[in-house]
Amino acid sequence: MSRELRSLLAEAVGPANVLAGADASPDYAHDESLTCAPQTPAFVVRPGCTAEVAAVLRIAASRRIPVTARGSGTSLAGAAIARPDGLLVSFERMNAILEIDEANQVAVVQPGVTLTELDAATAAHGLLYPVHPGEMGATVGGNLATNAGGMQAVKYGVTRHNVLGVEAVLAGGDVIRAGGRFVKNSTGYDLTQLLAGSEGTLALVTQLILRLRPRLAHHAVILAPFADAHELTLAVPRLLATGLDPVVLEYVDALTMAALAHTEGLASAVHESAQAYLIVELESRTADRLDEDVVEVAEFLVAQGAAEVYPLDQAAGRRLLQARERALHTSKAAGANDLLDTVVPRAAMPDFLAEVQRLAADTGSYVVGCGHAGDGNVHLSVFQQDAETRQQLMMSVQRAGIAAGGSISGEHGIGVDKRVYFDALEDPLRMDLMRRIKQAFDPAGILNPGVLFDPVEAMR
Amino acid sequence: MSRELRSLLAEAVGPANVLAGADASPDYAHDESLTCAPQTPAFVVRPGCTAEVAAVLRIAASRRIPVTARGSGTSLAGAAIARPDGLLVSFERMNAILEIDEANQVAVVQPGVTLTELDAATAAHGLLYPVHPGEMGATVGGNLATNAGGMQAVKYGVTRHNVLGVEAVLAGGDVIRAGGRFVKNSTGYDLTQLLAGSEGTLALVTQLILRLRPRLAHHAVILAPFADAHELTLAVPRLLATGLDPVVLEYVDALTMAALAHTEGLASAVHESAQAYLIVELESRTADRLDEDVVEVAEFLVAQGAAEVYPLDQAAGRRLLQARERALHTSKAAGANDLLDTVVPRAAMPDFLAEVQRLAADTGSYVVGCGHAGDGNVHLSVFQQDAETRQQLMMSVQRAGIAAGGSISGEHGIGVDKRVYFDALEDPLRMDLMRRIKQAFDPAGILNPGVLFDPVEAMR
């Protein structure tokens, strides 16, 4: 059976692109989740084109074999780990930038393209794909699956605001296209938007049309330590009300900054009396306007209670932002046991973060981190060895986030990791609708079973 | 039966809010579609709150009665016309602005709020809801249903980019909430986005959370006649590449401008040698920057082949934009027989418009209009008395639009009017998925039957 399956798959994608056992690198068994155990799939399949993806799905559909898509395996929620009896469809060979269309300001790309590759290609045209989650090695296919966000979402939105169209293979092997090289569309239900954030449970995306923007020439970063973290979070909505339109608006707590100072050589950034730090990036078409805006933001932040305001030169600014992006790695290296990705209304952040600290103290845990302050999306590392205590703490934090008008995941997705919170806290009516949508797309439940929902009984 | 139904409905919403026969204004029988015949519904029902909407839907579900939602009846596609055996649920009483939340920059509103009302309320807080389709008497509920766009979409996106959350009543009467006062969310499928553009076929929306932006203080409008319409359309993507970020980027053809000059007193705007006109609106936080940008855009447009460039004073600028918004009414008054709302990639506009003129000439028709040049979304009025010839022409134009990489409707929706094109030209695989989604939400097919899809057999 396994041998027959292998030969069918080899026919679909070529023998060199069906890997199993010792042939398959252990990398295929895991993603960047902190809590999911690695799982070796039955086969790793590496299709080279849409037709090959369709052929693989037809084989999987006819035998009800679970299928999990993988980009570069940077999921933080276990959404890119295949089932032991399943196929892992790796998009590593489908990594072509098919077109940078300047006139329509779109990129047409295959899902395996990484953000680093796309950034280089768009820069050559004076254009920008503005979605920059912390990991530039992530693929655009994975970004779509999780509806990835990142630091620049405060100005440019998340993946769903920057994907205009897709080609995708349905569970039965049919290929559909949706959307196109335009922003406006009112022609039936928006299937592109439905696939954004669907974590590989509805279809396998094989091509994306991404919206590009003019790449502005001038950037500046401002670092502002606050003696009072609460004052920092209060300053955030006020800064956004000015219309100064920052491209990045991040907070970093004192412990995380101390760690970054250590691991990233940022000692000069640490301010003795700071409880938290605000990082603001501005961008402009002209150097003069940028300078004016930097002065205006600096004065504004002082008025809002910043202990100091440091406008950084370009190199220092870039180093600080890169360090901020590596906060997750620093945290993992320090032994963090789990991650929170809660999103709350931005004005609810002060109270929510205070509540998190109370809950952490009550359970003898450390919860530290940083966050996309402009978007109310916090990334907190949870240090608590005891699994049961940790899960209770995380459940309480998530419940507090929802009570504050928020949601479980701002950008990492539910995957497998957050299923326990999703199942317990998500509105049952919403869950029921989601399940029906899943059934409409994938009645046999072969696409990423276990992610978002339990594997359907038919698959057992 | 009808009497019993009336008394059930009266119990749900109060006797004064169930209208039929002579009680119901003839306004309830039509929307702004040019081709749909008016239809008097069995009852007009005017709920005052979410619970009343739910009660109405429970009654409708138990008897399989068709239900059509209505805001202010400005649909251009017949999507707000109820069936003769159905209920028209008018949201005119649910027109409260519940909250303007400055810190989170959102408005929480009921669906019956008009754009004019929302604009006044947000202005008082220095904020802006940027979606301005041509009709400011339209309601936000209707805007969500059609995923309305309008002139400012080139900078701010369409309704789907500006709605963050909804409360909605499902076909069976259950009330769900989705999204919230935040932009980032990766917690299962995005039901808010699925409802945007669903034309009342999936659920009745009873509350919206809308994203607001800082209202910039300074605005300027530039009018640029082009002797060559093709050159105008070529200039559009180039202007967008500069990063000057216009808030409006419209074209108006010579015939339409002549008509507007007549009906709107804009004689001074007409330029003898012009084949078409470009209208650019800029906005800025400061008057100085606005002035600089106006000069830059003016010089740019001259270099791109504009015959003249007129920076308008604020009053003249506003008058021109308002006249542009009334182009549809002017066109209706002139006896237009139908409307096109095709969207194509913006760089495909020159060739697409040339093809439209060929098709018009071939059939002895006039096709004139204006469009959202920055978005590739054209609004063309079709003057052709013969219904069969007109439908053939429109089918050919839509087919050409799709061949150019476009879609049938950019912002008006399919409704009933465009069903013939949707059925003929939409990809059957996509249609099949949409039908399955419809069934997932509304298995009995009571929500706006005939819109997007045929009424299901069960309802006959």
Q: What pLDDT does residue B327 have?
A: 85
Global pTM value: 0.97
- How would residue A271 be classed by pLDDT, with cut points 50, 70 and 90? confident
Between B386 and B313, the higher pLDDT residue: B386
Chain A residues with beta carbon closer than 8 angstroms to that of B198: 189
Distance between CA atoms of residues A279 and A398, nearest Å: 26
User: Any idea which of A433-442, B139-148, B271-280 has the lowest mean pLDDT?
Assistant: B271-280
Q: What pLDDT does residue B189 have?
A: 98
Residue A132 has pLDDT above 50, yes or no: yes
Q: What is the mean pLDDT of chain A?
A: 94
Q: What pLDDT does residue B1 have?
A: 55
- The pair of structure tokens assigned to A312 is 């950084």
Chain B residues with beta carbon closer than 8 angstroms to that of A158: 183-184
What are the residue ranges of helices labelled H in B102-253?
Answer: 115-123, 140-146, 153-156, 159-162, 191-195, 229-241
- How would residue B400 be classed by pLDDT, with cut points 50, 70 and 90? very high
Distance between CA atoms of residues B447 and B199, nearest Å: 9
Chain B residues with beta carbon closer than 8 angstroms to that of A343: 182, 184-185
Distance between CA atoms of residues A106 and A128, nearest Å: 10
Best mutation target among A101, A182, A184 (most B Cβ atoms within 10 Å) is A184
Task: Write out pLDDT tens, residues A344-399.
Answer: 999 999 899 999 999 999 999 999 988 899 999 999 999 999 999 999 999 999 99
**Residues A182 and B371 sit within 8 Å (Cβ to Cβ):** no
Residue A460 has pLDDT above 60, yes or no: no
CA quadruple B305, B311, B315, B318: dihedral positive or negative?
positive
- The pair of structure tokens assigned to B313 is 């004073």
Residue A76 has pLDDT above 70, yes or no: yes
Q: What is the mean pLDDT of chain B?
A: 94
Q: Which DSSP category does B367 fall into?
A: E
Residue B459 has pLDDT above 50, yes or no: no
Task: Write out pLDDT tens, residues A142-155.
Answer: 999 999 999 999 99
CB contact (8 A) between residue B183 and residue A153: yes
Residue A265 has pLDDT above 80, yes or no: no
Distance between CA atoms of residues B419 and B453, nearest Å: 8
Distance between CA atoms of residues A140 and A196, nearest Å: 11
Distance between CA atoms of residues B54 and A208, nearest Å: 39
Q: What pLDDT does residue B460 have?
A: 37
CB contact (8 A) between residue A182 and residue B452: no
Distance between CA atoms of residues A13 and A63, nearest Å: 17
Q: What pLDDT does residue B455 have?
A: 87
Q: What pLDDT does residue A1 have?
A: 55
CB contact (8 A) between residue A346 and residue B147: no
Beta strand B87-90 pairing with B67-70: parallel
**Residues A140 and A167 sit within 8 Å (Cβ to Cβ):** no
Task: Write out pLDDT tens, residues B210-251.
Answer: 999 999 999 999 999 999 988 998 999 999 999 999 999 999
CB contact (8 A) between residue B440 and residue A437: yes
The arithmetic mean of pLDDT across residues A395-417, rounded, is 97
Chain B residues with beta carbon closer than 8 angstroms to that of A193: 160, 190, 193-194, 196
Q: What pLDDT does residue B458 have?
A: 41
Task: Write out pLDDT tens, residues B112-144.
Answer: 999 999 999 999 999 999 999 989 999 999 999
CB contact (8 A) between residue B344 and residue A243: no
Distance between CA atoms of residues A376 and A343, nearest Å: 5
**Which residue from A78, A131, A32 is spatially nearest to A375, judged by alpha carbons?**
A131
Q: What pLDDT does residue A83 have?
A: 95
